[in-house]
Amino acid sequence: MEQLEKSIYDLITETSTNLPKDVRRAIKKAKAAENAGTRAAMSLDTITNNIQMADDNVSPICQDTGLPTFKIKTPIGVNQLEIKAAIKRAIATATKDAKLRPNAVDSLTGANSGDNLGDGLPVVKFEQWEKDYIEMKLILKGGGCENKNIQYSLPTELEGLGRAGRDLDGIRKCILHSVYQAQGQGCSAGFIGVGIGGDRSSGYDLAKEQLFRHVEDTNPNPDLAKLEQYIVEKANTLGIGTMGFGGEATLLGCKVGVMHRIPASFYVSVAYNCWAYRRMAININPTTGEIIDWHYQDGEKIEFKDQSSEEAPKKIVELQAPITEEQIRELQVGDVVSITGRMYTGRDAIHHHLMSHDAPVDLNGQIIYHCGPVMQKDDAGDWHVRAAGPTTSIREEPYQGDIMKKFGIRAVIGKGGMGPKTLAALSEHGGVYLNAIGGAAQYYADCIKGVDGVDLMEFGIPEAMWHLRVEKFTAVVTMDSHGNSLHADVDKSSLEKLSAYKEKVFS
């Protein structure tokens, strides 16, 4: 199987950089649903531009590689050890070539292995089958949407929906609730895979297996087909919208699988996938290792060329650090800002570090970007940003307010919004939360014109503090210094809408 490693490398690159055709079609539909001129429509413009840029640059659609997971079926007699070894080599090479971000972190020490290999990683699952070729599927599911997966143990009580019993209607309620609880944090509009039954681990496996189904297929079980259709229709009335900005497109696909359970347990497991729905599959010749076929190739491939919005936002506020408190106090939820100049990246490790240490640079009046980029060093030793979208900000909720006050930081950029503690600190200190478009890693990488330095590299590439020079980096004010939070508003109104689905639908 001489060609095997190259075939796997191609599968990885294609999965990371070129969104499948069925997913593109679903995103096009979402665009048609959002009303022109809204924040949600503007976000979708950025998303579709980003999809096109990733394809053109053969660079990651989103900076988060996720936990690469391979599912493989082999004819009897094929050497699975050889396949696993080839996967590891291909993963390491794709990481070196910046097609993947180094994403494997030692859970105890926090050390990043640098090549996406580590204990238990990548995840590789084999099965045998009677066919005469190898089938290899790969999913790159990012961390923000993974954190929004949820598992329900029936019977249970659900906010907005009341009691969910051990029947199809209880399942219906759990799935609707799973979309509500994700809000925009998993980079909506999303796709969900649902597993009914099993135990905690097989239930989640079943849910994730559904994510390999075709977006446009129909469930062979008529009850589940009805349920899938119902969920997509109703979830899109919750008003969560793209990135949780409010709007019409909240859920682009729902696929439900079922397995038996044991009498005492009844699980409904939901795997939430962001719009950057990166999964692909190939068939491989077991003698040569060459690719025979690519999956998800039916129908038209939508190209998102010239997708800039016809209606530009009315008011764009130019910001350049250092920013004064006065400038910040003028900003209101809904304003669009365009940043030129310096910003510093900082995510989990940096926030934790800054609680008990001095900052490596003067952060007074500065902007922190919640981002773990994909970086590549050239032969001259200079760093280049290959992908750089925002990460989920809520993880920094315990630290953010204190850190802003301690160092005089005026603005943080991330996605998904933050909670009441940060909102209070923004009012008290004079700060603002800016929401960038999650997953738009190429779009933002293009706004970054230079890397002026890096600190705390010992935390690994995604967690280090990168000093970035940006031009016209656009984001939306979603939490201001006057106590307003778009996230809190959308959460409240979507919970009210969810309550409309309390009554029994399926018996």
List, in sequence order, every beta strand (DSSP E) within 236-277.
251-258, 267-273
- 24-32, 40-48, 138-146, 443-451 -> range binding ligand LMR (CB under 6 A): 138-146
Q: Does 244 bind ligand LMR (CB under 6 A)?
A: no
Residue linked to tokens 């669009």: 336
Q: Which does 247 bind (CB under 5 to 8 A by kind): ligand LMR, ligand SF4, none?
A: none
Q: Would you say the C-alpha torsion 295, 300, 302, 305 has a positive or negative sign? A: positive
Q: Which of 60, 102, 122, 144 binds ligand LMR (CB under 6 A)?
A: 144
Q: How many angstroms separate the CA atoms of 402 and 462, rounded?
A: 23
> What is the per-residue binding string for ligand SF4 in 415-444, x denoting contact by CB under 6 A?
-----------------------xx-----
Q: Which of 68, 122, 143, 198 binds ligand LMR (CB under 6 A)?
A: 143
Q: Which of 142, 190, 417, 460 binds ligand LMR (CB under 6 A)?
A: 142
CA 395 to chain centre: 14
C-alpha to C-alpha distances, 396 to 272, 315, 352, 407, nearest whole angstrom: 21, 29, 8, 15
Residues 6+ apart with CB under 8 A from 152: 158, 164, 174, 177, 178, 267, 268, 269, 270
Residues in region 430-469 near ligand LMR by CB under 6 A: 438
Amino acid at residue number 272? Y
Q: Which does 372 bind (CB under 5 to 8 A by kind): ligand SF4, ligand LMR, none?
A: ligand LMR
Phi, psi of 8 (to 5 degrees): -70, -40
Q: How many angstroms separate the CA atoms of 53 and 62, rounded?
A: 11
In the complex, what is the shortest distance from the CB of residue 75 to ligand SF4, in angstroms, rounded to a whole number? 34
Structure-block tokens of residue 293: 């076929």
Q: How many angstroms separate the CA atoms of 102 and 373, rounded?
A: 10
Q: Does 144 bind ligand SF4 (CB under 6 A)?
A: yes
- 38-46, 139-147, 233-241, 330-338 -> range binding ligand LMR (CB under 6 A): 139-147
Q: Does 462 bind ligand SF4 (CB under 6 A)?
A: no
Nearest to 64 by CA among 176, 157, 145: 145
Phi, psi of 102 (to 5 degrees): -65, 115
In the complex, what is the shortest distance from the CB of residue 277 to ligand SF4, in angstroms, rounded to a whole number? 8
Q: How many angstroms separate the CA atoms of 159 and 173, rounded?
A: 10
Q: Does 193 bind ligand SF4 (CB under 6 A)?
A: no
In the complex, what is the shortest distance from the CB of residue 62 to ligand SF4, in angstroms, rounded to a whole number? 3
Q: How many angstroms separate the CA atoms of 393 and 348, rounded?
A: 9
Residues in region 56-75 near ligand LMR by CB under 6 A: 63-64
Q: How many angstroms separate the CA atoms of 187 and 191, rounded?
A: 10
Q: Which does 276 bind (CB under 5 to 8 A by kind): ligand SF4, ligand LMR, none?
A: ligand SF4
Q: Which does 447 bind (CB under 5 to 8 A by kind): ligand LMR, ligand SF4, none?
A: none
Structure-block tokens of residue 23: 């997913």
Phi, psi of 221 (to 5 degrees): -85, 115
> What is the per-residue binding string for ligand LMR in 370-409, x denoting contact by CB under 6 A?
--x------------------xx-----------------
Q: Which of 252, 276, 291, 354 binds ligand SF4 (CB under 6 A)?
A: 276
Q: Does 62 bind ligand SF4 (CB under 6 A)?
A: yes
Q: Which of 64, 335, 455, 480 binds ligand SF4 (CB under 6 A)?
A: 64
Q: Which does 203 bind (CB under 5 to 8 A by kind): ligand SF4, ligand LMR, none?
A: none
397-407 vs 420-429: helix axis angle to the nearest 10? 10
Structure-block tokens of residue 437: 């478009």
Residue linked to tokens 């079609």: 25
Q: What is the DSSP string of 431-461?
A: -EEEE--TT-HHHHHHHEEEEEEEE-GGG-T
- 14-22, 120-128, 142-150, 297-305 -> range binding ligand LMR (CB under 6 A): 142-150
Residues of the shown chain interacting with ligand SF4 in the complex, contacts defined by CB under 6 A: 62, 64, 142-145, 186-187, 274, 276, 389, 438-439
Residues of the shown chain interacting with ligand LMR in the complex, contacts defined by CB under 6 A: 63-64, 142-144, 372, 391-392, 438
